[in-house]
Chains A and B, each alone.
Chain A
Amino acid sequence: MKYILMMNTMKAGSAPFPNWSQEDVRAHIAFMIGFAGDLNRSGELVSAEGLAFPEEAKLVRAGSDGRPVTDGVFPESKEFLAGYWIVEVARPERAYEIAARASAAPGIAGAPLNMPIEVRRVMSAPPADPA
């Protein structure tokens, strides 16, 4: 079963690592690289991506002529996706275990962040292929 583990931790207009020392940022990134490496070696990692900071994020809608209409104003409460992992595991409990590891990524002075990680099932095939 495929699950997506999402870090919805970014807020509009806030710095990516407020008040973090360079050393803390480096330790955090080293953790993330090691974490992805572990999942890769265990054969559980399907894909992972990190997203750019949301200052250039736009909401796009189709206008009446089909042309894009863009909007870059978001409510302050909006959570932005910072990155995700897709893992292939036998049962949801394993996905939760992996998510808990990501949650405990090091923050300021190495203290675990305990950030929320949203875990969702990914559909294995695109629905209703009409061909």
Chain B
Amino acid sequence: MKYILLMSGTKAGVETYKAWSPKDIQAHFVFLHELNRELRERGELLANEALADPNQAKVVRAGKSFSPVTDGVFPESKEFLLGYWIVDVETLERAHEIAARLSGGPAPGGGQLSMPIEVRQILSRSSEEFQ
């Protein structure tokens, strides 16, 4: 079964990451890199992407004659996706285990972050729901 693990944060939360020391950032990226390698070796990692800074985010709607109308103003409470992992695992519990590993990445000065990771099932394209 395919699950997506979504790492999100508010704009204010993203700003706190920017205040991390280079050493703390490096330690966190080393952790993510090692975890990705482990998941890839187990054949569980299908895709992984990191998104750019939410400062450049736009919301687009179709205007007249389908021309795009863009808006870049968001409520403070809005959660922005920071990155995601798509994993192929046997059980939901395994997806939760991987999410817990991601959640427990190193925080500044040691200890674990415990950031929330949203876990959702992915519909495969052959899903009967879309027949």
| Chain A residues with a Cβ under 8 A of chain B | 4-6, 29, 33, 47, 49-52, 54, 56-63, 66-71, 77-81, 86, 92-93, 96-97, 99-101, 103-104, 112, 114-123, 126-131
Contact = CB atoms under 8 A, between A and B. Distances in A.
Interface in B1-30: 4-6, 25-26, 29-30
B100 A66 contact: yes
A126 B100 contact: no
A52 B116 contact: no
Contact of B104 (A62, A103, A114): A62
Nearest to B56: A121
Interface in B52-67: 52, 54, 56-63, 66-67
A49 B112 contact: no
Nearest to A131: B33
A100 B51 contact: no
8 contacts: A6-B81, A29-B130, A50-B125, A50-B127, A63-B100, A81-B81, A116-B61, A120-B80
B119 interface: yes
A61 B116 contact: yes
